[in-house]
Amino acid sequence: MKIGRLMGIVVYLLNNGRTSAQKLAEEFEVSARTIVRDLETLDQAGIPIQSFYGVEGGYQIMDSFVLEKQVATSHEYDWIVTALKGLASAYENKGLERTLEKVKSLNHTEGVAVSVDLGVAGEDDKIKEQLKLLEDAIGKKCVVRFSYTNSHDEVKEIQVEPVLLQYKWYNWYLIGYYEKYQNYCMFKLVRMDSLQVTDIKNTKAHHLSDIKLKDDNENTVHIKLYGKAVIKAKCREYLNGRITQEFENGDFEYCFSVPEHETFWYGVILSFGNKAKIIEPQKVKERIIKTCKEIQMEYEE
């Protein structure tokens, strides 16, 4: 156990730089005194540990040190392969495939009881083409242009410096930098059209640690609904939230938070018909009423 912890400390310091003994103690769930003894052991074993005092004090490994030997256990390699397989199921990339093959060659146990399949993220041919273009633009550090339909159905011409491709909320997104506004924004690939990679070079180097996106909470709506017992399972499946109250007849109150202007959750609520009723907020309740009236009028005509 101690050998595993010692190796873990080395890897942690290499990845995170100067770290306090208390932080290491919290990370490895031992006392600060144990961490100090571990660091002394590592230093005696030839790992160049440096100590610093003061407000920004802590421990770090000399910059010149390089860890050359295999540091992952057989089971840890299984987790790495599992993660790479999950990414490969969503994203077609020769470099990724070669990396997966290399890591698989280091370990053959296949002992992880978890599998990640994100294949749905790579089923759209248009998205695949966009991903290739954007990855190329990010590598070349070139500006991209595209037409974009936002959540209010407004079409705008966008020109940004592409920084990162990210899969979240069941969709691919581009994080891009507006040089004009000196701000980072997220764009959903499925809403892009006429994507072009230009010859215009980025105005600056982009570091992921510097990216500050607009607070998600600014566009998040917190919803409470009353549901009939028959839709309980569907609420759990399609609306990521929690049951806050259950009644004797099986009916329940359900709370969840969603991006205000997204379509999916709104369509799910409408699909429940009279088996769900919005309790709050009032603006969502009024929106549901308005939509239902408009649908009724359309069919009456």
pLDDT in tens, 168-186: 878 899 999 998 888 999 9
Question: In which band, very low, low, confident or very high, does the pLDDT at 97 lie, cut at 50, 70 and 90?
Answer: confident
Task: Answer for the pair 232, 250: CB distance below 8 angstroms, yes or no.
Answer: yes
DSSP state of 229: G
* Report field, pTM of the whole predicted structure over 0.85: no
Q: What is the mean pLDDT of the chain?
A: 89
pLDDT attached to residue 260: 86
Rounded to an integer, what distance in angstroms lies between the CA atom of residue 35 and that of residue 40? Answer: 9
Task: Answer for the pair 291, 270: CB distance below 8 angstroms, yes or no.
Answer: yes
Fold of 218-300: Alpha-Beta Plaits (3.30.70)
Q: Say which range, 142-151, 163-172, 248-257, has the weakest mean pLDDT.
A: 163-172
Torsion of CA 205, 206, 210, 216, to 10 degrees: 150
Task: Answer for the pair 163, 175: CB distance below 8 angstroms, yes or no.
Answer: yes
- Segments of the chain assigned to CATH 1.10.10.10: 2-61
- Assign 3-state DSSP to the chain and report helix, strand, coil percentages, each to 5: 45, 25, 30
pLDDT attached to residue 75: 81
- Segments of the chain assigned to CATH 2.30.30: 125-214
- Segments of the chain assigned to CATH 3.30.70.240: 218-300
Q: Find the helix or strand (DSSP H, E) in which 173 lies.
A: strand 171-178
- Span 218-235, average pLDDT: 93
pLDDT attached to residue 71: 66
- Span 135-151, average pLDDT: 95
Q: Which CATH number fits domain 125-214: 3.30.70, 2.40.128, 2.30.30, 3.30.1360?
A: 2.30.30
Cβ neighbours of 190 (radius 10 Å): 13
Q: Could you tell me which CATH class the domain 2-61 is placed in?
A: mainly alpha
Query: Residue 72 pLDDT > 80, yes or no?
Result: no
Rounded to an integer, what distance in angstroms lies between the CA atom of residue 200 and that of residue 177? Answer: 13
